[in-house]
Structure 1
Amino acid sequence: MKLLSMKSLAAAALSAAVLVPLAGRALAHESLDHLKPAPADALSVTEAVKSGSGANVYESVPMWCQMPDARKTVGATHGGIVVDKKGNIYFSMDGPADGPGILVYSPDGKFLRGMVGKEFLGCHGLCINEENGEEFIYAAHLKGKQGVKFKLDGTVVWKLPIPKESGKYDDPKGKAYSPTGIAVAPNGDVYIVDGYGAQWVHQWDKNQKYIRTFGGPGKEPGKFNTCHGIGLDTRSGKPLLLICDRANDRLQHFDLDGKFVAVITEGLRKPCSVSFHGKRVAIAELQGRVAIIDETNKVVSALGDNPDKAQWAKFGVKPEEMKEGIFTAPHGVSFDAEGNLYVMDWNQSGRVSKLNWIKQTAAAR
């Protein structure tokens, strides 16, 4: 969330020099000389900041959304984001304590409603799936240690409890089940990653019948050190599970039967979650940027890259310390149908940003 007023943004910009951007880092308006300090009209820099490279250049939308219910801040953001067919944006919350657990916004940044109550605070990862013409939101409910399926009006369809059938949680001294991400296969199978727990991936069928468990802790291919996020990757024509192996700084592919396929991208900055648009994948990296990989799974663009490493992966960054178009701890990410991006920073006050895709003609490329 952009929590600063335009007046305070201008004041903050006037009191600090603009950092010289590197390739792939945030760029101000192209007409400005980036080697000089912020001009007197520094508001022009903070209003719309471009970042990225090649065909993946984005521009931030300042002051994107309203505060819900006259709050001064949105509340703690430590969850996921999804976008429905109408373009409405749903993102999960960790606070305030009275809820709601999921907020719904329009594409132009207007607060529409709270979708579920305080009992569903702590929905860590989200995905959206269309079934027989109706859309549903699936959540890895970290606080409730369960998976949940919602209708878009907040009605609970079902809940998936701790997968005791797996045998991975029999030891009372072992790590507790702490689900962080969820994905749905074309046949309706549900996959939940235990990213803050024992590092397993659990699979159920569309009728919530347990099928299998795979993965486990480790650094070798096919193992995890914080299997934080998961998505369904259909770019090759064959659906695969794309899993964010956060503390190993990589992405891994598995088939829908849980068999390891490949480590596809390494050297990332603590990948948390992914979203797909055509052949592109956006990756929320907790260490201060959003990366985009192409069909070869190579990083081709970096958005909102934060040059201040002291802010990377920091929950306590204050609103007045945030800079337009620069991320602190990207945790959730989602494309919309047009290829624009919504990014959630992990933050105590709450922050969700919108970035518009600057589409280029073939000649411009």
Structure 2
Amino acid sequence: MNSRRQFIKNTSIAALGGAMVSPLYSFNILKKKPAPDIILGHGDYQYKLNKDWAQISSVRNPILNCHEMVMDSKGRLIMIGDNTDNNIMIFDKSGKLLDYWGTAYPGGHGLTLSIEGEEDFLYLTDSGWFLDKSGKWVHHNGRVSKTTLDGRVVFDIGHPQTVGAYEPGDLFSPTEVAIAPNGDIYVADGYGKDYILHYDAKGQFIRKWGGHKNKDKNYNLMNAHGVTLDLRDPNQPLLCCSSRSENMYKWFTLDGKFVKKLHLTNMYICRAVFDENNLYAGVCWSRPEDGSGHNWKKHTGFVTILEDDKVVSNPGGTAPTYKKGELQASYQLPTQPILHGHDVCVDEDKNLYICQWNAGHTAPLKLERV
């Protein structure tokens, strides 16, 4: 019997090729090596990619597109999307989902935080465009809503036709809102007639500018996708407007006078996000090297970072280069870590949270500053 047991033992060891000689050696063979960190960006602005930051269930909290994100005064991260199971999602910085609400914004697109005294408010922008059940794009009336953080509507801003700013039948498809220090509201009609519509704090119409047919072409806006308050010079608050089809930002005074512009070569940039002296933006597409126009279905996006209005880093894209002071074209990395950059949120540790459009129903990404 003993010789039979010895025979079985020897045969088993032989079959394993001696793998059992060292238990520690065997453990090292089977242990899976962790995937290397993915580092994105350039120079002083480099980040570790965290794809799995958002801790959500695709069943209970489905996502169509993540459009924009802001951080409230308590440090919570609030996201707007266009899935009416949960237009608004609220996260802590670890990615834990704290709350969600909203079923009335099928074209949920823009999100702006306004702090009034000790209370936070949200401005939600519904562009009016959404995919129906057959997969076709359809349009309903665009809408801007001021709400509390738990979704109670304070007031709505409807079609500019109602205040005489548009003609009957004009398309109104707002994409973004900016709030001035005095509470005035600026609405970018980025998918409609490309005007910036100026209202007072109670939603009463004041003026408009932009559009397509100005004698001074600096006032023309082509896909006025974003509008943001720029307070980097406290003595001269400005509005930074995306003229995305021109690959350009244009700055205006708060009463609509043109100040300056910045051409970003081949980047189709979304709203500007300001933090200290920096400008952060999602690049939804980048015009290809052959010089042809962008194909909105193709994944060609990334994120860009500007310091004093000069591009210094392109997380998810190629390194920025300048020749004779002119920014050269930048392109998405072949690995496609970011498909379509639509918005950037910056926390106090300078980590970035990236919302993406047309990215396979993915949740926001986190880029951890290194």
TM-score normalised over the length of structure 2: 0.74
Residue 188 (structure 1) aligned with residue 173 (structure 2): no
Q: Which residue of 1 aligns with 2:35?
A: 44
Moved more, 185-194 or 258-267: 258-267
* 1:327 aligned partner, one-letter code: I
Residue in structure 2 matching 1:243, options 241, 248, 271: 241
Deviation at 1:166, TM superposition (A): 6.2
Q: Which residue of 2 aligns with 1:354?
A: 366
Residue 303 (structure 1) aligned with residue 303 (structure 2): no
Q: Distance in 1 between matches of 2:89 and 2:157?
A: 22
Q: Distance in 1 between matches of 2:34 and 2:364?
A: 20
Structure 2 unmatched runs, 5+ = 1-30, 129-140, 286-300, 320-330
Residue in structure 2 matching 1:104, options 90, 93, 108: 90
Q: Distance in 2 between matches of 1:141 and 1:352?
A: 19
Residue 79 (structure 1) aligned with residue 67 (structure 2): yes
Q: Distance in 2 between matches of 1:66 and 1:50?
A: 22
Moved more, 142-151 or 62-71: 62-71
Residue 123 (structure 1) aligned with residue 108 (structure 2): yes
Which runs of structure 2 are paired with 1:162-241 in the superposition (5 Å)?
A: 162-164=159-161, 167-172=164-169, 174=170, 176-217=171-212, 220-237=217-234, 238-241=236-239
Residue in structure 2 matching 1:277, options 275, 278, 283: 275
Q: Distance in 1 between matches of 2:345 and 2:213?
A: 28
| Contact in 2 for aligned 1:330/1:346 (Cα 8 Å) | yes
Q: Distance in 2 between matches of 1:293 and 1:165?
A: 39
Deviation at 1:302, TM superposition (A): 0.4
Identity %: 29
Q: Residue 126 of structure 1 aligns to a residue in which SS?
A: strand
| Contact in 2 for aligned 1:190/1:205 (Cα 8 Å) | yes
| Contact in 1 for aligned 2:66/2:364 (Cα 8 Å) | no
* 2:166 aligned partner, one-letter code: Y
Residue 135 (structure 1) aligned with residue 120 (structure 2): yes
Deviation at 1:264, TM superposition (A): 2.5
Deviation at 1:222, TM superposition (A): 2.1
Deviation at 1:285, TM superposition (A): 0.6
| Contact in 2 for aligned 1:58/1:355 (Cα 8 Å) | yes
Structure 1 unmatched runs, 5+ = 1-39, 314-321, 359-365
CA gap 1:42/1:269 in 2 versus in 1, 3 angstroms = farther
CA gap 1:43/1:251 in 2 versus in 1, 3 angstroms = farther
Q: Distance in 1 between matches of 2:163 and 2:306?
A: 34
Residue in structure 2 matching 1:113, options 99, 105, 115: 99
CA gap 1:168/1:157 in 2 versus in 1, 3 angstroms = closer
Residue 61 (structure 1) aligned with residue 73 (structure 2): no
Moved more, 185-194 or 266-275: 266-275
CA gap 1:240/1:268 in 2 versus in 1, 3 angstroms = farther
* 2:253 aligned partner, one-letter code: D
Higher relative contact order (CA 8 A, sep 6+): 1
* 1:169 aligned partner, one-letter code: Y
Q: Residue 35 of structure 2 aligns to a residue in which SS?
A: helix
Deviation at 1:62, TM superposition (A): 3.4
Q: Distance in 2 between matches of 1:233 and 1:109?
A: 28
| Contact in 2 for aligned 1:140/1:146 (Cα 8 Å) | yes
CA gap 1:42/1:198 in 2 versus in 1, 3 angstroms = farther
| Contact in 1 for aligned 2:81/2:87 (Cα 8 Å) | yes
| Contact in 2 for aligned 1:181/1:192 (Cα 8 Å) | yes
Q: Which residue of 2 aligns with 1:334?
A: 345
Deviation at 1:349, TM superposition (A): 1.5
| Contact in 2 for aligned 1:274/1:334 (Cα 8 Å) | no
What RMSD over aligned residues (CA atoms) do the two structures have, in Å? 2.5
TM-score normalised over the length of structure 1: 0.75
How many corresponding residue pairs?
297
Q: Distance in 2 between matches of 1:285 and 1:351?
A: 17
Encode CA deviations 1:76-96: one digit per residue, 9 max, x unaligned.
11521111122211111112x
Deviation at 1:171, TM superposition (A): 4.7
| Contact in 2 for aligned 1:265/1:298 (Cα 8 Å) | no
Q: Distance in 2 between matches of 1:277 and 1:53?
A: 18
Encode CA deviations 1:122-162: one digit per residue, 9 max, x unaligned.
22111112110111111222135121111111111111111
Encode CA deviations 1:291-325: one digit per residue, 9 max, x unaligned.
00111x11111011289xxxx99xxxxxxxx96x8
Encode CA deviations 1:159-185: one digit per residue, 9 max, x unaligned.
11112266453153x4x1000011000
Q: Residue 303 of structure 1 aligns to a residue in which SS?
A: coil
